[in-house]
Amino acid sequence: MEFKNMCTRKIRQGLIDKDFSAKEIVDYSLERINNSEEKIHSFIELSPDLAYKKAAELDDFVAKGEKLPPLAGSIFAFKDNMNLIGTHTTCGSKMLENYDSTFTASCVKHSIEAGAIPIGKNNMDEFAFGSSCETSAFGPTYNPWDLERVPGGSSGGGAAAVASGQVTVALGSDTGGSIRQPGSFCGVVAMKPTYGIVSRYGVVAFGSSLDQVGPFTRNVYDCALTLNALSIQDPQDCTSHPLDVDYTANLDKDLKGKKIGVIPDFVETDGIAPDIKAAYKDAIAKLKDLGCEIIDVSLDHAKDAINAYYILGPCEAFSNLSRFDAVRYGFNLPNSNLDSQTSNSRGTGFGNEVKRRIILGAYLLSSGIYDKYYYRAQQVRSLITQDYTQAFEKVDALVMPTTPNTAFKLGEVSDPNTMYLSDIFTVSLNIAGNCGLHLPTQIGQNSNLPVGIQIVGPAFKDENILQIASNLEKEYKFYENYERITRNF
Ligand code: GLN
């Protein structure tokens, strides 16, 4: 039985038809991961015991003739900032290298309850700061399309695991682009749902007002089905919203009469790779052919989003990361002086990018400085949100690039400011709390790497962007390209 390009639907059906058992799926997946990990390094830890336990439960369901849950048998991996009892939760950091999860994050629990088999924890930039997966204390992940290139970040491990066919679905977290940007570099469907749709409980916090969990998949249906499982109101997260939506419901509806907004300023600038521009223009033409009306809109303050984000993000991170104090848990260099113990432990346990964000956040929140930066960034946040609200009075969704470039080489971007610009098209959505999805569409003619577009929707209209993505997916059939890389691993 060939599992490697199987989607959620086929796996579940195969279990129902007794073509294979859940145990066989796990055997196959672990073998495949073990054969490819040396090249890709998308995992920090595998969880075979948990996987076999869930498989046994599913096989028992089949034996008893019970109805299988929607994600039954799909192999899931979780970013290593998501707690899962029975695994460590390292956040890609020496600080939490030996930290045992003491509970299970709601998004992980909801996935497993929906039938997902937990195979392991994915590599990531340390504490989710980064756009290349190079800052992980456990070494980088490599892009399956070209092993000399980065997979993007911070959820690079999950994107690479899905692209290479190691897993069916991976969950990432996106504070400023960390699902969509690696999705773009690795050529997979990658969604940041509306803030509030997926519980953040048990996901180690970076920027609590910006963080959102979402899936990496090889097709839009799997993305929508995973979102069904994840969008459950959670009393443990006061920002989680009660919603009763079937995200797969609209996928086969056509797009006739849909209004799609485009922002001409976004692509008519230098610094955007020709392949990205070409993919964007091609997608707009396809949307027109599918019956959409294309309307120019402006997001006047979007140009300030990156500046606002690199103020708001570090301020929230500074506060959230203060819990790693070398007293309660985490990396600890014992010292008779408590202050020295904390500062030495944090100095050694955290990597450079983490320290940069903490120092920046501490400075920006200090008295006298706060009004000049944090307060103003909050005002800019309101303006960006207003821009989106006004745009969505005219259009159903927006289309824009996801990243300015295709995947770059390991070590190629060493200056933090250049790295931060990777998020230029993604951060404004987190700031406004909207939903966004990266859809891979083609292999770029110049780069020979995957390219695609970002579809952006208003808050709580996630089903609309999935519908647009599904219609475009039928045109492009990007999933046919996976065979080209899966055969290498
Ligand atoms: N690359 C961005 C940053 O480093 C986004 C990170 C994220 O979304 N977690 O802050």
The sheet carrying 43-46 orders its strands as: 43-46, 117-122, 75-79, 169-174, 212-217, 189-192, 435-443, 450-457, 397-400, 259-262, 293-296
CA distances from 195 to 121, 211, 342, 459 (A): 23, 7, 34, 8
For position 448, what pLDDT does the model report?
97
Q: How many helices (H) and strands (E) would you count in the chain?
A: 17, 11
Closest CA to 88 of 77, 78, 97, 100: 100
79 belongs to the catalytic site: yes
Domains contained in the chain, CATH given: 8-258+395-486 (3.90.1300.10)
> Which residue's CA is minimally distant from atom 10 of ligand 1?
129
Residue from 131, 178, 184, 422 carrying the catalytic annotation: 178
* Distant-in-sequence, close-in-space partners of 48: CB < 8 Å, separation ≥ 6: 26, 30, 119
Say how far residue 71 (Cα) sits from the centre of its chain: 19
3-state secondary structure of 440: strand
Per-residue pLDDT of the chain (489 residues; tens, 9 = 90+): 667 678 999 999 999 999 999 999 999 999 999 999 999 999 999 999 999 999 999 999 999 999 999 999 999 999 999 999 999 999 999 999 999 999 999 999 999 999 999 999 999 999 999 999 999 999 999 999 999 999 999 999 999 999 999 999 999 999 999 999 999 999 999 999 999 999 999 999 999 999 999 999 999 999 999 999 999 999 999 999 878 899 999 999 999 999 999 998 888 877 899 999 999 999 999 999 999 999 999 999 999 999 999 999 999 999 999 999 988 889 999 999 999 999 999 999 999 999 999 999 999 999 999 999 999 999 999 999 999 999 999 999 999 999 999 999 999 999 999 999 999 999 999 999 999 999 999 999 999 999 999 999 999 999 999 999 999 999 999 999 998 888 888
With 0-12 / 13-18 / 19 or more C-beta atoms within 10 angstroms meaning exposed / middle / buried, residue 463 is: buried
Residue of 150, 423, 424, 438 to mutate, ligand 1, most atoms within 8 A of C-beta: 423
Instruction: Report residue 400 as tokens.
Output: 């824009």
Strand partners, 121: 45, 78
Answer yes or no: is the C-beta of 309 below 6 A from any ligand 1 atom: no
Q: If we measure between CA atoms, which residue out of 315, 103, 133, 92 comes closest to residue 209?
A: 315
